[in-house]
Amino acid sequence: MRVFCASLATETNTFSPLRTDMSDFLESFYAPPGEHPETPTLCSAVFPALRRRASAGEIELIEGTATWAEPGGLLNAATWRHLRDEVLDQLRAAAPVDAVVLGLHGAMIADGCTDPEGELIAAAREIAGPGARIGVTFDPHSHLSARRVENADIITVFKEFPHTDFVETGEACVELTLRAARGEIAPAISVFDVRMIDVLPTSRAPMRGFVDKMSALEGQGTILSVSAIHGFMAGDSPDLGAKIIVITDADPARGAAVARELGQELFSFRGRTKPEFLSARAALLQASAAPRHPVVIADVWDNPGGGVAGDSTIILQEALSLGIANIAFGTIWDPMAVRLCHAAGEGATLRLRFGAKTSDSAGAPIDADVTVLRVQKNAVQSFGASVVPLGDCAVIEARGIQIVLNSNRAQSFSPDLFTNLGIDVSAKQILVVKSTNHFHGAFAPIAADIIYAAVDGPYPNDPRNNAYTRLTRKLWPIVDNPFEEEAVR
pLDDT at 488: 45
Does the pLDDT of residue 449 top 60, yes or no?
A: yes
Residues 6+ apart with CB under 8 A from 89: none
- pTM for the model stands at 0.96
DSSP string, 132-144: SEEEEEE-SSS--
Element (H, E) at 229: strand 223-229
Q: What is the pLDDT of residues 280-339, one digit of tens each?
A: 999 999 999 999 999 999 999 999 999 999 999 999 999 999 999 999 999 999 999 999
Secondary structure letter of residue 352 according to DSSP: E
Average pLDDT over residues 456-460: 90
Does the pLDDT of residue 487 top 70, yes or no?
A: no
Average pLDDT score, the chain: 97
User: Residue 151 — very low, low, confident or very high, per pLDDT cuts 50/70/90?
Assistant: very high
SS3 at position 384:
coil
Q: How far is Cα 13 from Cα 71, in angstroms, rounded to an integer?
A: 7
SS3 at position 44:
coil
Does the pLDDT of residue 190 top 60, yes or no?
A: yes
Beta strand extents in 86-173 (DSSP E only): 99-104, 133-138, 154-157
Which of 311, 317, 309 has the alpha carbon at shortest distance from 368? 317
Domain 2-268 falls under CATH 2.40.30.110: no
Average pLDDT over residues 41-52: 98
Average pLDDT over residues 195-216: 98
Average pLDDT over residues 247-263: 98
Buried (b) or exposed (e) across 331-363, using 16+ Cβ within 10 A?
bbbbbebbebbbebeeeeeeebebbbbbbebbb
Average pLDDT over residues 29-49: 97
pLDDT at 485: 61
Beta strand extents in 153-194 (DSSP E only): 154-157, 187-193
Average pLDDT over residues 21-32: 97
pLDDT at 458: 86
Q: How far is Cα 138 from Cα 170, in angstroms, rounded to an integer?
A: 9
pLDDT at 242: 98
Indicate the domain borders of the chain: 2-268, 277-453
Residues 6+ apart with CB under 8 A from 232: 11, 107, 141, 142, 143, 240
Q: How far is Cα 417 from Cα 423, in angstroms, rounded to an integer?
A: 9
pLDDT at 84: 98
Q: Which residues pair with 442 in a beta bridge?
A: none
Of all residues in the chain, the percent with pLDDT exceeding 70 is 99
pLDDT at 484: 85
- How wide is the angle at C-alpha 324 spanned by C-alphas 321 and 326, nearest 5°? 140
Does the pLDDT of residue 49 top 90, yes or no?
A: yes
Secondary structure letter of residue 74 according to DSSP: P
Give the 3-state secondary structure percentages of the chain, helix then strand then coil, rounded to 5: 30, 25, 40
